[in-house]
Structure 1
C-alpha cells in the first residue's frame, strides 16, 4: 500500500493561509540547512493568490535566498495574462515591501516562444545549471513544489491520458496539444515532480470536489494528481478548503504548528 498523502482541510482560504505559510517556512528552513538557497517550483492559477495571502503577513521569509522555477509555463509573452511568470509577478512579487531582497526567478526564454521543443530544452539546461552544476544527477531535487489541481485532475501541464505521462528521460518536456488553452507549453515531467523533497497541492472551491473524490477514493484512476500521490509516497501534503472536499471520504489531519 502506498503511503497516503497528508490532507489538511480548512474552512476557507483565509483559515488555510497561516498553515500554508508555516509549511513553506518549514521547507525553507530545511533547505537552508542543506544549501544556501531555497529551490522552489510553483504553478500558476489561484495558487499564487493563496501564496500572497499566506506569505505577506508573516516574518521569516528569506526572499533573497529563494530560487523560483516554474512547474510549467505557457509559451506566451511574459506580460500575457496566461503567463505563469506574469501572474507571479503581478499577484505576488509586486506586493513585496519596498527594499525587500528579491528572489531569483527563472522564466522561460522569450526568444523561443514559437518553438516548444527548444523552449523545453533551454529550460532544462537552466535546471541542469542549478541542480547539477558540480555533479551529475539523474533528476533535480526541488526543496518544494507548490502545485495546483485542475478540475480534470491535471497538474503542471501533465494531463490525463497524455503521452507525456510516460516521459521518463527529459526533465522538462514540450506540449503543443494541451487540451486547455493555450496549447503550446513546457512542463516538468512526472519523474521530476515525484523526485521533489516536498510537494504541496493547494486546492480550493467546490468545483474541485468531484475530481478530489476520484483522486482520494479511486486512486487507481491514473489521473496526474493521483500519480504524484503514488509516486512521491509520503512526501505529498494537500491543503484544501471544505468546499473542495465536500462529500469526499478522506482521512484529514489537524494542522499543528511545526517547530521551525
Structure 2
C-alpha cells in the first residue's frame, strides 16, 4: 500500500472501541465547528449505527469538548436503500432506532437528510439519486460552484466482500467521476435498488472513519491491508484515495492475522 497510509486502530472489545470512537467523532465535530457553524457528516448502515449510539450516548466528562452538539449536526446517508423510511432495510430507520430516538430531549436533535419517500417505489432509483444530490447541493452549494461536497466526517462500514456504501467490487459505479449520488438497480446484496455517494465524494471528506468488528471481518481486512489482490476492493480504493484521512476502528478479532501496523489509542 503506497503512502500516505490509513490509520488502523485495534481494541480488545467493542466497549473500548466505542470510547475511542466517541473521542474521534467529537474531535471531528469540534474541528468542524471551529471552521463553520455546522458539523456535516455522512453515515452508513450495518453495525455502524449501533456502535455510534454506544459511543455518543454514554456519559462523557461534561466538558464542552466531550459533548455532542447535536443541534449543529447535519447528517446525510452514505448510502440508502430504495424502501420506505419505516422499512426494516432502511438505513434511516436503523439510525433513528439506534441513535436519534434515544438522544435525551435536553441535548437537542440533529438535522437528518433522508431520501424522498415519494420515490422509493419507482422502477428506476435514478430520480431518488438526483433528488438526494439536490439535497446535498442545498447544504454544500451547487455543482456549478463546487466540484464536490466536502464532508467533515464520513462514517463507513466494510462488507465481507470489501464493499463500502453501496459500492461493490468490480462494479461500474466505482468509475463514476461526475455524479455526487449514483443509483444502483441490481445490488448483489438485497435490496437491489439503492442510492450511494460516489467514490470521489467519499474520498474528498476531511475525515473518514471505518468501523469493522468481529472475526467475520478478519479475512477481508487481511485482503484490504496486506494483499496485493485486495487493492481493487472498494474499501481499499478509499484507503488509497484518502490515505491518512482514513481511520479504521476494529476489535482484535477483526484484525487477527493482519500484519499492517495497528495502533492501540488515538
1:66 and 1:90 map into 2 onto residues whose CA distance is: 18
Q: For the Cα contact (< 8 Å) 1:229–1:236, is it kept in 2?
A: yes
The equivalent residue for 2:253 is 243
1:177 and 1:142 map into 2 onto residues whose CA distance is: 27
CA RMSD, 1 decimal:
1.3
1:253 and 1:208 map into 2 onto residues whose CA distance is: 18
* 1:178-217 pair list within 5 angstroms: 178-217=187-226
Q: Which runs of 5+ in 2 are unaligned?
A: 61-65
Q: For the Cα contact (< 8 Å) 2:11–2:264, is it kept in 1?
A: no
Shift of 1:219: 4.9
The reply on whether 1:122 has 2:131 as its aligned counterpart is yes
The equivalent residue for 1:162 is 171
- Which of 69, 85, 105 in structure 2 is aligned with 1:62? 69
Q: For the Cα contact (< 8 Å) 1:44–1:88, is it kept in 2?
A: yes
The equivalent residue for 2:63 is none
1:247 and 1:254 map into 2 onto residues whose CA distance is: 16
* 1:1-260 pair list within 5 angstroms: 1-57=2-58, 58=60, 59-113=66-120, 114=122, 115-132=124-141, 136-219=145-228, 221=230, 222-256=232-266
2:249 and 2:132 map into 1 onto residues whose CA distance is: 28
1:22 and 1:246 map into 2 onto residues whose CA distance is: 24
1:97 and 1:234 map into 2 onto residues whose CA distance is: 34
SS at match of 1:99: helix
Shift of 1:89: 0.5
Flag the 1:223–1:20 CA change in 2: closer, same or farther, 3 A. same
Deviation string, structure 1 residues 199-252 (Cα, Å, up to 9, x no partner): 000000111000000000025530000000000121000000011011111201
2:228 and 2:25 map into 1 onto residues whose CA distance is: 26
SS at match of 1:67: strand
TM-score (norm 1): 0.96
Shift of 1:144: 0.1
1:90 and 1:182 map into 2 onto residues whose CA distance is: 20
1:137 and 1:98 map into 2 onto residues whose CA distance is: 36
SS at match of 1:202: strand
Shift of 1:18: 0.9
Q: Which runs of 5+ in 1 are unaligned?
A: none
1:130 and 1:177 map into 2 onto residues whose CA distance is: 29
1:125 and 1:98 map into 2 onto residues whose CA distance is: 30
2:144 and 2:263 map into 1 onto residues whose CA distance is: 39
Flag the 1:141–1:220 CA change in 2: closer, same or farther, 3 A. farther
Shift of 1:100: 2.5
